Amino acid sequence: MRLAVFLLSVTLVGTFAGSFAGTSLADSTLAGPSSVKTAAQSLGEQLGRQTNIEADFVQYVLDASGSRLQETHGHMVLAQPNQFWWQTEDPFAQLLVSNGKRLWIYDEDLEQVTVQTLDQRSTSTPALLLSGNATDIGAEFDVVMQTGGNGLVFYRLTPKDPESLYQTLRLNFKNNQLLEMQLEDAMNQKTSLTFSNMVLNPQLKENLFEFVIPENVDVLEMDQP
């Protein structure tokens, strides 16, 4: 079974990767004009503005030396809480659908569907940061915020869970719109995910996040003993 990279690691190596230039604000020191809030709370507010997201994406996987291992194009729809529809077009057609509880992974060329319970921890499924409960961010991550010019805001997240699949995750925004996600795992492998044609809070098709298993495909139930 091939498992889409975004479920295990979502990272960007793009315009802002590897550089946090500008004002640095630690998780406990983000000050507003009339109150004090943490960087985690600020990130929660950013993500809370985007209840539903639809976008095209390009994803790159890089090894520790920076060599490109894989390039993937696709389309995604994310909705709170914990729902997503994620389709990759190449090099292998794959569709991932979750209704917030169950996860279906359809490998079209293998004529195979894998079904399992969705792990709702953002530390194991980073994409859930965009479709999950934004108020839980501070409980799962240490967060540092930095600001740049032209409306740019950067967040660096370090998982508190020692068993997390990755070491750092970055979210980059411009004018309150998500541009990039960045991650580096324990093996120093990086994955880059860039968004285009993004639509915030789109009208969603009914039952979009309920997958209907096609006929004549193999079904793997991962939760069975």
- The pLDDT tens digits for 192-222 are 888 899 998 899 998 999 999 999 999 999 9
Dist CA 7 CA 193 (whole Å) = 12
- The pLDDT tens digits for 9-55 are 333 333 333 444 455 555 544 444 434 578 988 888 888 777 788 99
Domain boundaries, the chain: 5-205
| pTM passes above 0.85 | no
The CATH number of the structural domain formed by 5-205 is 2.50.20.10
The mean pLDDT value for 178-184 works out to 85
